[in-house]
Structure 1
């Protein structure tokens, strides 16, 4: 039988491996407003609003996100830009109604294929150090290859118990090969050519299988960045966060250039 001292030591080790203070899954708090393109999509709760999903600004009146983030349409949801702390009053915050929601017409709920949506805000944002657009990769651009370092950010769960942070978290992760993510012990046939998968096995002192950097529930809709350019949309970040054979899945933005231009073009002409 293990001694009390041994049990305490094991408990301390496990707590260190699953520390909640580091963010996303094994990430860190972002410098305030260092990612001015990140949006919080919020849903009514009681007398207030609650963060539900992420998004990112791609033009003066447009936010990119995931289809599965707004399953019932706008339905009272709002988009907040210039956020660092979800709970504290910040002069940088700008809140918008959703004027239009455009879900990709070929979105497949079974496996989240084509999980890309565009939100038209009710007015252009006021550009500032805390609010601005990010460039996104277009058709013909080079997507990150296996083992390339990419970045993601959001207010998603810190663990599989659903504990949420108040401030924006970020993580540096690495692209996992598509061949591996297509394996039956990873995602099998659910993983399509429109997806990138990524996470990061962290070094000791924690054993690698138990210490990850990954996206999680609530990070969905947020950006995956490569060299400062948005190349992906967090899609299946909420599935078994932080597990070796279930890395986060991201929609490849460059596959949808024609659709994006069509939607934003129509919106500009309206």
Structure 2
């Protein structure tokens, strides 16, 4: 009996190790270092160190786009770090910024995360390099991905529902789920709005065998959803657990906010 118990303990530890060292995000893989030079890590003070809290992405020389729910009450001492691959290792490519301005969309709804888009103005322009540069985002009139289209996202978010976090940037390819399905009562119901895209790696029909779940997760919020190299969405919200079949990741559709973005980023007239 003791030997049997020992065997069960060893098996449990082995399974836990597999979960804790899974490939990243939920599924996915480690990104090639600095292959996504637009990625931003929004970090909060944690004792003597800074800890990654949310993602973002560079859209102009002094501007980062993210999600409102990442900073709902203001910057509160948070910093933005660009040129990151490893959160813990010293990298000469890293550039750290204070937040000069934070613009949360005024119509953001905490109840369903509608209009979950925010703009951060850095305290100075970044120094452009192979590790730090802006990415193009889809504007009004552009074409958003259709159902089943492959899209990609990246971040330093949880590897699993136990909260394990990666040190290095992860990326994953997922597929757009139809808006009709995401509006079903067994998915998100009325919380899912026309400002949202949902996406995940779906089990092929008929789903009669185990498959590798792939999804964005906690800590990926604010990061980009890309289609053909252009950012079309912001990682926003999903289910309480990542990788659930009926709770795909939800992404804010950026092209719905062109006028608001332009109004915030427009140069202010100088005082005479």
Alignment TM-score, normalising by the size of structure 1: 0.91
Residue aligned with 1:145, SS: coil
**Alignment partners' CA distance in 1, 2:91 and 2:243:** 31
Check the 8 A contact 2:38/2:134 in 1, yes or no: yes
Q: CA RMSD in A?
A: 2.6
Number of residues paired by the alignment? 266
Shift of 1:13: 10
In the alignment, the residues of structure 2 paired with residue 238 and residue 80 of structure 1 have an alpha-carbon distance, to the nearest angstrom, of: 28
SS in 1 for 2:264: helix
Q: Aligned pair 1:207/2:210, yes or no? A: yes
The runs of 5 or more residues in structure 1 that have no matched partner are none
Partner of 1:253: 254
**C-alpha separation between the residues in 2 aligned to 1:110 and 1:266?**
33
CA displacement at 1:47 relative to structure 2: 1.1
Gaps of 5+ in 2: none
Q: Deviations over 1:203-248 (max 9, x none)?
A: 799613xx31100000000000000000000000573201000000
The equivalences for 1:14-93 within 5 A come to: 18=19, 20-93=21-94
Cα separation, partners in 2 of 1:127 and 1:74, compared to 1, 3 Å: same
Paired position in structure 1 for 2:265: 264
CA distance in 1, matches of 2:37, 2:232: 17
The answer to whether the Cα contact below 8 Å between 2:104 and 2:118 also exists between their aligned partners in 1 is yes
- How far does residue 23 in structure 1 lie from its aligned partner after superposition? 0.2
Aligned partners of 1:217 and 1:239 also within 8 Å:
no
Contact 2:176/2:197 (<8 A) preserved:
yes
The equivalences for 1:133-172 within 5 A come to: 133-172=134-173
Contact 1:101 1:119 in 2 (8 A): yes
Identify if the C-alpha distance between structure 1 residues 48 and 268 changes in structure 2 by more than 3 Å, giving closer, same or farther: farther
Judging changes above 3 Å, is the alpha-carbon distance between structure 1 residues 206 and 93 closer, same or farther for their aligned structure 2 residues?
Answer: farther
| 1:212 alignment partner, SS class | coil
6-15 or 169-178, larger mean C-alpha shift: 6-15
* Residue equivalent to 2:117: 116
Distance, in Å, in 1 between the alignment partners of 2:270 and 2:214 is 42
Runs of 4+ in 1 over 2 A off after TM superposition: 4-21, 201-206, 266-270
Q: 1:120–1:269: structure 2 CA closer, same or farther, 3 Å change rule?
A: farther
| Shift in alpha-carbon separation, 1:181–1:122, aligned structure 2, 3 A | same
Rate the CA distance shift 1:181–1:202 in 2: closer, same or farther, 3 A. Answer: closer
Q: Whole-Å Cα distance in 2 between the matches of residues 268 and 92 of structure 1? A: 34
Please report the TM-score for the alignment, with normalisation by the length of structure 2. 0.91
CA distance in 2 between counterparts of 1:84 and 1:205 reads: 37
C-alpha spacing 1:162/1:16, structure 2 compared with 1 (3 Å)? closer
Give SS of 1:140's match: coil
